[in-house]
Amino acid sequence: MDYISRKYKAEKFIAYFQNFTNTYLPLEKFQEYSWEACQPKIVELAISTRPDCIDDKYLDFLQRLKREKEVNISIELGLQTVNYHTLQKINRGHTLAEFVDSVWRIKEKGLEVCTHLILDLPWDNMTDIIENAKVLSALKVEQVKLHSLYIVKNTILAKMYEERRINLLSKEEYIERVVTFLEYLAPNIVIQRLIGRAPEANTLLANWNTSWWKIRDEIEMLLEKRESSQGKKFDYLNGSALKVFTGR
């Protein structure tokens, strides 16, 4: 915090429990680390985990922590896609149902949800991209982080790529998917990230060898070219068929 304060003149901070599945910790350890993180300048705890590693014991504790320490609590869930066939292919170990269950449980406790998605998985098409936006909007998640697919060496996915058993999307196709996703996403959902940074070590392929900020700029340029924006096509909830039928 001292370093960031000097560099960016920041005064308040988010404690980010980022790597791995933090709620897979024993409850006592999880409670200990969470209490310790609530320092005077900390205004939020962001806790990364999996949809199938959320239960009421951990959420009850976080609800109490939020109340007693007066900090915001957001829980980051790695969904990646709503296409449960793709989830099975990438061996996620959970389906869409576990994600829906965890979101409902989190929001019932008054906590926020941030969802991670990979928009260029080889088995997804544009219909899946639109459905990603629709599901997150219908569940009223608060935040979303978008990623492009990167391939780590010596993995099953790397072997599939090297044997040409999967076709990866181009940078232009990824940008098209991001813009379409944004158009269907509810306008009040916060976009924390349009594209991620891949680790350089042991990575076979990542971000088309292009700087993340250049891809971000191209996404913004396509939005401007289309005269489009987040939520432009957000018209499908709250009885959309009735609105068409009745002319309302």
Mean pLDDT, the chain, whole residue set: 94
User: Both tokens of residue 57?
Assistant: 């014991």
- Identify whether 2 is part of a domain: no
Domain of residue 183 covers: 12-246
- Identify whether 5 is part of a domain: no
Directed axis angle between helix 171-184 and helix 212-226, to 10°?
60
Residues 97 and 99: their CA atoms lie apart, in Å, by 5
Number of domains in the chain: 1
For residue range 18-66, list pLDDT tens digits in order. 988 999 999 999 999 999 999 999 999 999 999 999 999 999 999 999 9
- Identify whether 131 is part of a domain: yes
pTM to 2 decimal places = 0.93
- Identify whether 159 is part of a domain: yes
For strands 203-205 and 151-152, give the pairing. Answer: antiparallel
- Identify whether 79 is part of a domain: yes
Q: How many CB atoms lie within 10 A of CB 133?
A: 25
- Identify whether 48 is part of a domain: yes
Specify the range with the lowest mean pLDDT, choosing from 99-108, 191-200, 224-233. Answer: 191-200
Amino acid letter for position 99? F
Domain CATH code at residue 40? 3.80.30
Output the pLDDT for position 247.
Answer: 59
For strands 143-147 and 151-152, give the pairing. Answer: unpaired
- Identify whether 107 is part of a domain: yes
Q: What's the residue count for the chain?
A: 248
For residue range 124-179, list pLDDT tens digits in order. 999 999 999 999 999 999 999 999 999 999 999 999 999 999 999 999 999 999 99
Amino acid letter for position 55? D
- Identify whether 97 is part of a domain: yes
